[in-house]
């Protein structure tokens, strides 16, 4: 009977059957109340029912299953009846919140965090020292990350067993399109890398119910150089992510030129369309045979984009002093060159795909769009250059003014004139 009741309880939690669940829980509690000696009996191996329940399913109870399946109504009922079940760890020391992150169940996570309102379980770590924030960053669960950073009491700069923070986990993970948004969210919450923690105090996202003092009085740094360094660090990380994506796109575009590659070789082709030679080799670019001009422009623009992106990555990892605005301005200019070259690559690719009858109209449209793009880029470059020049002149004027500042003179009064 007990085995049947247990299986029904698991099935109800997994399927989200809220009507059956309270009755099964009532029956389960009634058995324990009437026969409490059942909980103390052991089998031939010396295991009690509690040991068996913990061992079965890697320690997962019905509440864990409901959280993994996203059964929010079942979770509410289970937490109400058995709140201690939410604190039971499963295999590898994972909590129910870890399971919510692993199975991308945002609503389950949000419900449990709000119901439990416990700083310790929010920051609980598994056997590898991974908190739910570490795990959410590793799985690129940006919605969960933003929720955790919005005021749940999560430790932003907690370390795992490898002494890595959440920001370190992001840096070592596989590059993706969400990396930029995740890095911005972490940095805005005061996240640091492990190497930066020794120079700063720990940062914790304050709980929503915490009212000890205003957030701005706790978290906003008081010294201006620290704020500037934080801004430069965020911008450097953003440039690294974008440069990596640009380099990947340029590399892929170089291997797969528009128009494709010849799949066969030495087949006689008609002497037209500016084809210099009727024969061709397998694995070579079709566009290179049909339009040498387009192919040369495409290759040049794509190569510029690739080299510029790789240059940014190389400069960022060499350890040069890129904590100054001037060096960051140089990196930004290189990034603009890479993006502009990628825009030219896009233009040429479309012209290669366009039929000859529509090539003139498409060319006009693309040229207008390209001119508008270059105009915007030029204005941005001019604005940044002017701002940088003004800052340089202010610093020079401040240094020169300090050197030329007259020393206070001592006036001596003639005692005879007194």
- What is the per-residue pLDDT across 5-53, written as a single tens digit (0 to 9) for each? 555 555 655 555 555 455 555 555 554 554 455 445 545 545 444 444 4
**pLDDT at residue 53 in the model:** 44
pLDDT: is 276 or 343 the higher one? 343
- Which CATH number fits the domain 1-88, given the four candidates 1.10.8, 1.25.40, 3.30.1380, 1.10.150? 1.25.40
Average pLDDT, the chain: 75
How many CB atoms sit inside 10 A of residue 192's CB? 23
pLDDT: is 162 or 397 the higher one? 162
CA dihedral 365, 368, 374, 379 (to 10 degrees): -140
Contact 120, 155 (CB under 8 A): no
pLDDT over 90 (residue 143): yes
Residue 140, sorted as left (phi over 0), alpha (psi -120 to 50) or beta, turns out to be: left
Q: Which of 110-114, 197-201, 368-372 has the lowest mean pLDDT?
A: 197-201
CA distance 310 to 189: 30
Q: Which two tokens stand for residue 315?
A: 């400069």
- The residue written with tokens 């990596």 in the block is 244
Specify the domain boundaries for CATH 1.25.40.20 within the chain. Answer: 115-220
**pLDDT at residue 103 in the model:** 94
Contact 109, 150 (CB under 8 A): no
Q: What is the pTM of this model?
A: 0.47
Contact 351, 362 (CB under 8 A): yes
**pLDDT at residue 57 in the model:** 46
- State percent of the chain over pLDDT 70: 67
CA distance 72 to 190: 31
Contacts of 390 (CB under 8 A, 6+ apart): none
What is the CATH architecture assignment of 115-220? Alpha Horseshoe (1.25)
- The residue written with tokens 């739910």 in the block is 132
What is the Cα gyration radius of the chain?
A: 32
Question: How does residue 213 score in pLDDT terms, banded at 50, 70 and 90?
Answer: very low
**pLDDT at residue 184 in the model:** 87
Question: How does residue 216 score in pLDDT terms, banded at 50, 70 and 90?
Answer: very low
Contact 275, 290 (CB under 8 A): yes
């Amino acid at each position: 009977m007990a085995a049947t009741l247990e299986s029904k309880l698991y099935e109800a939690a997994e399927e989200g059957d809220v009507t059956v669940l309270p009755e099964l829980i009532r029956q389960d509690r009634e058995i324990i109340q009437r026969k409490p000696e059942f909980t103390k009996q052991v089998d031939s191996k010396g295991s009690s029912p509690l040991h068996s329940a913990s061992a079965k399913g890697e320690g997962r109870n019905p509440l864990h299953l409901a959280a993994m399946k996203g059964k929010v109504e079942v979770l509410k009922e289970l937490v109400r009846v058995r709140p201690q079940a939410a604190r039971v760890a499963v295999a590898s020391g994972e909590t129910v919140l870890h399971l919510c992150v692993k199975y991308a169940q945002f609503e389950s996570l949000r419900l449990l965090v709000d119901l439990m309102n416990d700083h310790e379980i929010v920051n609980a770590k598994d056997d590898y020292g991974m908190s739910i924030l570490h795990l959410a960053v590793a799985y690129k669960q940006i919605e969960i990350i933003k929720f955790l950073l919005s005021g749940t009491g999560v430790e932003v700069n907690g370390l795992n067993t490898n002494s890595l923070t959440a920001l370190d986990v992001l840096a070592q993970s596989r590059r993706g399109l969400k990396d930029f948004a995740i890095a911005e969210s972490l940095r805005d919450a005061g996240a640091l890398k492990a190497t930066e923690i020794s120079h700063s105090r720990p940062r914790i996202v304050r709980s929503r119910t915490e009212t000890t003092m205003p957030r701005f009085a706790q978290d906003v740094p008081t010294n201006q150089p620290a704020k500037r360094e934080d801004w430069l660090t965020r911008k450097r990380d953003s440039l690294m992510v974008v440069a990596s994506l640009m380099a990947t796109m340029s590399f892929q575009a170089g291997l797969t030129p528009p128009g494709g590659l010849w799949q066969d070789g030495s087949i006689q082709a008609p002497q037209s369309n500016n084809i210099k030679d009727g024969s061709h080799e397998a694995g070579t670019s079709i566009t290179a045979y049909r339009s040498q001009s387009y192919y040369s422009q495409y290759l040049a623009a794509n190569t510029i984009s690739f080299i510029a992106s790789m240059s940014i990555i190389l400069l960022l990892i060499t350890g040069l002093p890129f904590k100054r605005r001037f060096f960051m301005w140089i990196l930004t200019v290189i990034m603009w060159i890479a993006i502009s070259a990628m825009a030219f690559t896009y233009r040429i690719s479309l012209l290669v795909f366009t039929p000859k009858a529509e090539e003139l109209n498409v060319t006009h449209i693309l040229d207008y769009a390209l001119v508008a793009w270059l105009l915007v880029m030029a204005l941005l470059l001019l604005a940044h250059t002017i701002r940088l020049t003004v800052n340089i002149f202010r610093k020079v004027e401040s240094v020169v003014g300090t050197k030329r500042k007259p020393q206070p003179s001592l006036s001596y009064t003639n005692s005879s004139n007194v």
